Structure 1
Amino acid sequence: MDVRHLEYFLAAVDHGSFNRAAASLYLSQPSLSQAIRILERDLGSELFHRIGRRVVLTEAGVALVEPARAAIRSMQLARTSVESVHGLVTGRLEIAAMPSQAVSPLTEMISRFIRAYPGVSVTVRAAFTAREVTEMVRTGAAELGILASAGESQATEVCTHPLSEQRFILLAPPDGPFPPDTTAVGMEDLAGHRLVVGQQGTGMRQYVDDLRAGGVDVTLAVETEHRVAILPLVLAGAGLAVVTEAWRELARQTGVLALDLEPPTSLKVALVSRHGATTPAAEAFLRTAAEDDLDPNT
């Protein structure tokens, strides 16, 4: 079995079509299709249902995804380990990140990392919940992940490296219900207001759901998976929004009020990595993060 064929298979899985997978690999679509057919012949089973231009995994294809990612990661580990004998000069690192944590602290971490290792490229992959981040790291879709949760991570299938906490804040338009000189609001002050919220499974949505369960009467005006839409929605008057303080500086730059919520409530932020050996790039990233961010007691 050719490892390149596994790479082509995973590209088709991730992109949902042979055309897009081939483009991402700078291959012709017929070349990729032929490689997939060879892999299917080697394994004695079809891996995809071909539905027009789309491809959908068969049961055999689903079973192959995790072993294929593990095989690719093992090859990457072997290659980069040999290269690192001469120093970490080149390489690639994939990090799964929840939206708010991708803004901060991940931005600062990547900035420090690429200054120290300018030849290593970093790819940030989107995940909307802590569970999604954990699964992407566990299955090898990403080597590291950054997530936030209300309590300490209980995921035993990955290694957890605690970071600092992020407090919840309230975003409000400058011409909204709170005067510009307001610095903090109580949870009860949100009663009667419309809110822009994230989807189920996110910390910001859980905060609002807990408010409602506690008797604070708020209206869910907009639910969005696109975190970049929150600031424009607040500015446009669609509603207020509860987010983490990762958004504080961006909010101020756009003119949105960023107000502390009382009593303070926080999410615990952590990096996660796979059990066992990791690539030199991942190890270097963890070391770089540890210089300022990782909990010294872990």
Structure 2
Amino acid sequence: MERRQLEYFVAIVEHGSFTHAARALRVAQPSLSRAIGKLERELGVALFHRVGRNAVLSNAGELMVERARLVLRDLDALRAAARTVGEGAVGRVDVAATSSSALEPVISIVAELRERHPGVLVSTSSALSAAEVAAMVVQGRCEVGVCGSAERPVGPGLLAHHLRDEEFLLVAPPGTRRGDDATVSRDDLRDMRFVVTKPATATRALYDRFASSVPGLSIAAEVGDRSVVLPMVLRGIGASLMPDGWGELARRAGAEVHRFSPAESLPQWLLHRTGPITPATQAFLDTTLASAED
């Protein structure tokens, strides 16, 4: 079994067909097909069912894909470790993050890494929930994850470090008057209309808890793309609940931003799997944990 075969196999899974995988890898499709055919003969099983122009994983392929990703990650770790001698941390680290965690602390970590380890490239992938972040790390799709979750994320071979408690804020249209100048209580939310994300996000779960106990709460808009929440708030469509990483941006944009009293918060976690990791990943972990201790 060769590394190239595993790379081709994973690419077909991620792109959905031999044609799209060959285009992404910039190789001739016949070469890719021959490599996969050779791998299937070596293993004695079919890895894909060809359905029209698409490639659907067989049962054997489904069992193999997660291990293939992890093997490729481990090979990258070995290669990067050799390059590190005399060069410092170099290479790429793939980070899965929910939207609020991608804003903070990931942005601050990237900025600090650029100062300390200019040879490290951070590539982020978005996830809807903490469970999705954990799955992406366990499956080898990313090396590191950052997310908010009430419970410590768990998974086979997964390590979780508590970073901080992320605080939720009320972000309301300009001119909205609720509570005092700095804080609001749950009762202050009576009869407010909200822009919410679709179910499964931490902010939606918080809104649903409020809606079950605060009279008159209603949904003005439900969005799948969380980047449009703040623009909708600024246009007066409704208020929203946002993690504290959005606070500064929302204030600068002109929104009314209030903390809750008592505070509404959610633990934020740094995730990675056990086993070999690249020097670039180690640099990301060390920088993130050092920032959490400050």
TM-score clears 0.5:
yes
Given that residues 162 and 294 in structure 1 are in contact (C-alpha distance below 8 angstroms), is that contact kept between their aligned partners in structure 2? no
Equivalent position of 2:41 in the other structure: 41
- Report the residue type matching 2:193 in the other structure: R
Q: Distance in 2 between matches of 1:72 and 1:291?
A: 28
Map residues 86-125 of structure 1 onto 2, 5 A cutoff: 86-125=86-125
- Report the residue type matching 2:45 in the other structure: S
Equivalent position of 1:134 in the other structure: 134
| Structure 1 SS opposite 2:274 | coil
Equivalent position of 1:185 in the other structure: 184
Q: Distance in 1 between matches of 2:2 and 2:97?
A: 31
After superposition, the Cα gap between the structure-2 partners of 1:31 and 1:228, relative to the gap in structure 1 and judged at 3 Å, is: farther
Shift of 1:154: 4.7
- Report the residue type matching 1:228 in the other structure: S
Given that residues 172 and 256 in structure 1 are in contact (C-alpha distance below 8 angstroms), is that contact kept between their aligned partners in structure 2? yes
TM-score (norm 2): 0.90
Given that residues 134 and 153 in structure 2 are in contact (C-alpha distance below 8 angstroms), is that contact kept between their aligned partners in structure 1? no
Map residues 154-193 of structure 1 onto 2, 5 A cutoff: 154-155=153-154, 157=156, 158-175=158-175, 177-178=176-177, 182-193=181-192
Q: Which runs of 5+ in 2 are unaligned?
A: none
Q: Distance in 1 between matches of 2:278 and 2:2?
A: 21
Instruction: Select between 84-93 and 95-104 the one with higher mean Cα deviation.
Output: 84-93
Q: Which runs of structure 1 show a deviation greater than 4 angstroms over 4 or more consecutive aligned residues?
A: none
The reply to whether residue 243 of structure 1 matches residue 242 of structure 2 is yes
Shift of 1:89: 5.0
Shift of 1:129: 0.8
The percent of aligned pairs where both chains have the same amino acid is: 38
Q: Which runs of 5+ in 1 are unaligned?
A: none
After superposition, the Cα gap between the structure-2 partners of 1:123 and 1:49, relative to the gap in structure 1 and judged at 3 Å, is: same
Q: Distance in 2 between matches of 1:20 and 1:250?
A: 39
Given that residues 88 and 281 in structure 1 are in contact (C-alpha distance below 8 angstroms), is that contact kept between their aligned partners in structure 2? no
Shift of 1:244: 0.5
After superposition, the Cα gap between the structure-2 partners of 1:45 and 1:237, relative to the gap in structure 1 and judged at 3 Å, is: farther
| Structure 2 SS opposite 1:165 | strand
- Report the residue type matching 1:159 in the other structure: L
Equivalent position of 1:234 in the other structure: 233
Equivalent position of 2:253 in the other structure: 254
Count of aligned residue pairs for this structure pair: 293
Q: Distance in 1 between matches of 2:190 and 2:180?
A: 20
Given that residues 169 and 243 in structure 1 are in contact (C-alpha distance below 8 angstroms), is that contact kept between their aligned partners in structure 2? yes
Shift of 1:212: 2.0
- Report the residue type matching 2:241 in the other structure: V
Given that residues 148 and 267 in structure 2 are in contact (C-alpha distance below 8 angstroms), is that contact kept between their aligned partners in structure 1? yes
Equivalent position of 1:221 in the other structure: 220
Shift of 1:32: 3.1
Shift of 1:294: 4.2
Q: State the Cα deviation string for residues 223-281 of structure 1 (Å, max 9, x = none).
A: 32311111122123332111101111221232222221222111111111111232211
Given that residues 179 and 188 in structure 2 are in contact (C-alpha distance below 8 angstroms), is that contact kept between their aligned partners in structure 1? no
Q: Distance in 2 between matches of 1:232 and 1:32?
A: 45
Equivalent position of 1:50 in the other structure: 50
- Output the aligned Cα RMSD: 2.3
- Report the residue type matching 2:273 in the other structure: R
Q: Distance in 1 between matches of 2:149 and 2:259?
A: 19
| Structure 2 SS opposite 1:86 | coil
After superposition, the Cα gap between the structure-2 partners of 1:293 and 1:23, relative to the gap in structure 1 and judged at 3 Å, is: farther
Shift of 1:179: 7.0
Equivalent position of 1:3 in the other structure: 3
Shift of 1:95: 0.8
